[in-house]
Chains A and B, each alone.
Chain A
Amino acid sequence: MLLWMKNLRWRQRLACAALAALVCAPVWAGRETIQVAGSATVLPFASIAAEEFGHAFSRFRTPVVASGGSGGGLRQFCRGVGSNTIDVANTSRPMRAAERENCRRNGVSNIVEVRFGLDAIVFASHRQTPAFALLPEHVFLAAARMVPQDGALVPNPYQRWSQIDAALPDVEIALLWPAANHGTRETLEEKVLLPGCAAFAAMGALDETARRAACTRLRRDGRVTEIAGDYTETLARLAVQPQALGVFGLGFFEHNRDRLRVATVNGVAPTREAVAANRYSVARALFFYVKGEHFGLVPGLREYAAHFLSPELAAPLADAGLTPLDEAARQRALAALREATEAQTR
């Protein structure tokens, strides 16, 4: 009996040791796999880059790409240096000063910013509805809570698009707008609502913050629906609400042309050429940020960043809806990256 107990103790001890080893192993061992997280818009592009990187370099593991939003990715990125923090953050907007400060406080100060392309945001309706030819002021008048009328701000009276402009289709106003968790919403404010708002003299009378608030406050009478999910959810909504106008990424629209009709903005249809030539205005730059402190820690990080910008990747990334950098900008980004990695090694 005593022997058995002793035996059990020993076994228990062994089990405890095994469990402890299991728990501690990942903390001690250096990491082999690059970890990337951030914007859901960048996720498809970063996934393609990660996969192609894995195919091109047999000596490195294929990176893992997680979602979590631009802000969420940068929060993880700035948590500190070490193998239990991520190496690359994807964002659909540049890093803010407060985020840089947060990073620096946690010891992440060598941050390499790579701007790798442009992403266009499109307005699209169901295939059955007539085409929209939008101007920023149309969208502003359809979406804002208070609109200028005869020099004064009044609660939004518009019910149909044709009331805003006779040239627009005579259908009920219904907008499927990205919710606040999406970076897309910010881009829409910057590139559509604020320019649309600026067209009205009544708005010019307000001071800066009040104008911004008035321009970006959305109506609450049920004509603007906020979508917290992904573009698939917007598409599903369009199927049951065919007169609605939804917001999509260019890549998503191109893969679902059979269900969607795209709207022009300022008379320009969203194509990659129009985005590259800066003619289509509702576009934003996409970035990824590499943690310089990890260049020596995680194998392949330098190569991953450079491979993202390589010409072989241009075709698959464009197929996924990205407007890649032009050659000069690409060379500049590569040179900046090289400089940053050399500075770190020195």
Chain B
Amino acid sequence: MNNMTEPTAAAPDDDARARLACIRATLARRHARERRFRALGQAAVGFGVLCVVFLFASILYKGVPAFWQAHIAAEVHFDPARIHVPPPPHPHSDETPAQFQERMHRWREQLARAPWEDLLVDALLAHLPPEAAQHRADVARLLTRGERYRVREMLAEDFSLLGKTVALALLADARVDVWYKNAQQANLPDTVRRWAQELRARGALRLQWSSALLMNTDSRASPASAGLAGALVGSLYMMLLVIVLAVPVGVASAIWLEEFAPKNRFTDLIEVNINNLAAVPSILFGLLGAVIFINGLHLPLSAPLVGALVLSLMTLPTIIIATRVSLQAIPGSIRQAALGIGASRVQAVFHHVLPLALPGILTGAIIGVARAIGETAPLLLIGMSAFVSTVPRTPLEPSAALPVQIYLWQGNELRNFFEARASAAILVLLVLMLSLNAFAIWLRKRFERRW
């Protein structure tokens, strides 16, 4: 305490005491202020955590049930009396592959015209009251439309099934699924509802894990089997292409700007513009992409390639800024040491600075790419909101994308069903993002060096 009195003042005792009292009086106030500030900070963090927990809980609560769908257990008899199709063609030695392909297509079209619905209805009628046989079209409504194609593909793959009976868990129609999960929300016709009740009482209709959401493509005709496969592959193509296109260009420009560029007005201008570009709303990149790539270069609509080009433009500033920051973090002594032992500037940068900055660069790049993958608005403008029910074979083929798929499902007229579906798709997107971020963190932890 006696240190507090200044040595120059020939301190009278009461003067020091008065000062001490003054300090004491303000001390309580200052402590209170600190407590208030800490409490405020904790409250802010707590509120944020609460929001995140609420968000995740509601997505999980809505999305997880979508992975368990109503199925109807039934014995499907591949009845030769109904399926009048010859066995699949085998290649003759005296025909070209094209000729065989043509015969194969013709056989498949014949197979497609077989009455698959009747096969499934026959299987369901075994569980239903006899009067149901008069309403075959309504019985077919219990199942989602895609199941007839599943049964068809089974026979196409293994023709020896003809004449045999196979026990299958058939995916129920979306409206039956909604009814099973929440009877109030159902919009089922009365007869279908009665049969669904009958099937449920018999234990034939029950919830079961379904991989449809992950393995199938989007579907309008058969909503219960709509899945994310096409969107996942489309987003994956975009992710790979963004990495291939944006990372080299971004890192190269950052290295030049940081290590080689002269400091003049021109480079200042570039720097300011890069920072501005990082803050430009993503939809503007979509507009730009639509004008340049679609209208100008005539690239195909809804193609992952165009999406990747647009997203690359959007990610470039982020990557450049992250790379520059991690290059700046490398101490100048590294460069000087390299130059001192006779390395050229290029050698100093590529042999010494860049390897040390790599973890930071990769982290920045991955986080930039993860942000790009979750972007929706620019993709809508280049036609990626189209309905595509195939998995793209190349990045030039039309495709869906994960975030756009969520947006489309959210607007689907079969709301009661697709709300859960959209939440499940959000889960898939979140898992993808979190694993990308986790990878970035791992990279940083693994290779980071502190100075």
Contact = CB atoms under 8 A, between A and B. Distances in A.
Interface stretch (A104-112, A194-202, A252-260): A252-260
A258 B410 contact: no
Given A56-B112, A59-B105, A255-B187, A84 B389 contact: no
Given A52-B221, A58-B105, A84-B300, A64 B413 contact: no
B109 A316 contact: no
B186 interface: yes
Interface in B150-197: 175, 184-187
Contacts of A319: 141
Contacts of A252: 413
Given A64-B387, A232-B411, A252-B413, A257 B112 contact: no
Contacts of B108: 58
Interface stretch (A23-31, A116-124, A211-219, A262-270): A23-31
Contacts of A43: 387
A66 B390 contact: no
Contacts of B300: 26, 31, 84
Contacts of A35: 301, 398
A57 interface: yes
A230 interface: yes
Interface in A14-46: 22-23, 25-27, 31, 33, 35, 37, 43-44, 46
B383 interface: yes
A65 B386 contact: yes
B375 interface: no
A171 interface: no
Given A61-B390, A64-B302, A316-B145, A255 B415 contact: yes
A235 B419 CA distance: 13
A222 B210 CA distance: 47
B411 A27 contact: no
Contacts of A23: 297, 299
Nearest to B412: A232
A61 B297 CA distance: 24
Nearest to A256: B415
Nearest to B149: A55
Contacts of A65: 386-387
A66 B298 contact: no
Given A51-B221, A258-B186, A58 B109 contact: yes
Contacts of B299: 23, 26
Contacts, number: 107
Given A256-B187, A316-B145, A51 B396 contact: no
Contacts of A64: 301-302, 386-388, 398
Contact of B220 (A26, A51, A66, A67): A51
Contacts of B387: 43, 46-47, 50, 64-66
A135 interface: no
B413 A67 contact: no
Interface in A89-136: none
A158 interface: no
Interface residues of B, number: 45
Interface string B384-406: 01111110000011100000000
Contacts of A52: 221
Nearest to A260: B187
B137 to A, nearest CB: 7
A174 B299 CA distance: 45
A28 to B, nearest CB: 10
A66 B109 contact: no
Interface residues of A, number: 47
A327 to B, nearest CB: 17
A293 B104 CA distance: 29
A125 B331 CA distance: 68
Contacts of B137: 315
Contact of A51 (B301, B389, B397): B389
Contacts of A31: 300
Contacts of B385: 66-67
A57 B113 CA distance: 10
A231 interface: yes
B414 interface: yes
Contacts of B220: 44, 47-48, 51, 320
Contacts of B112: 55-58
A231 B413 contact: yes
Given A23-B299, A47-B220, A51-B221, A254 B187 contact: yes
A26 B386 contact: no
B253 interface: no
B369 interface: no
Nearest to A61: B390
A251 interface: yes
A331 B95 CA distance: 39
A341 interface: no
A169 interface: no
A323 interface: no
Interface string A223-254: 00000001110010000000000000101101
B361 interface: no
A315 B109 CA distance: 20
B413 A48 contact: no
Contacts of B145: 316
Contacts of B410: 232
Contacts of A46: 387
A25 B187 CA distance: 48
Contacts of A255: 175, 187, 413-416
Contact of B396 (A26, A37, A231, A256): A26
Interface string B111-151: 01100000000000000000000000100110001000100
B74 interface: no
B219 interface: yes
Interface in A49-94: 50-52, 54-59, 61-62, 64-67, 84
A66 B413 contact: no
Contact of B301 (A55, A66, A231, A251): A66
Contacts of A55: 112, 149
A31 B184 CA distance: 47
Nearest to A316: B221
Contacts of B415: 232, 235, 255-256
Contacts of A50: 387, 389
13 contacts: A22-B305, A26-B298, A31-B300, A35-B301, A51-B222, A55-B112, A59-B109, A231-B413, A252-B413, A254-B187, A256-B413, A258-B185, A319-B141
Instruction: List 8 A-B pairs, minimum CB-CB distance, nearest first.
Output: A66-B386, A47-B220, A58-B108, A47-B387, A59-B105, A64-B398, A252-B413, A65-B387
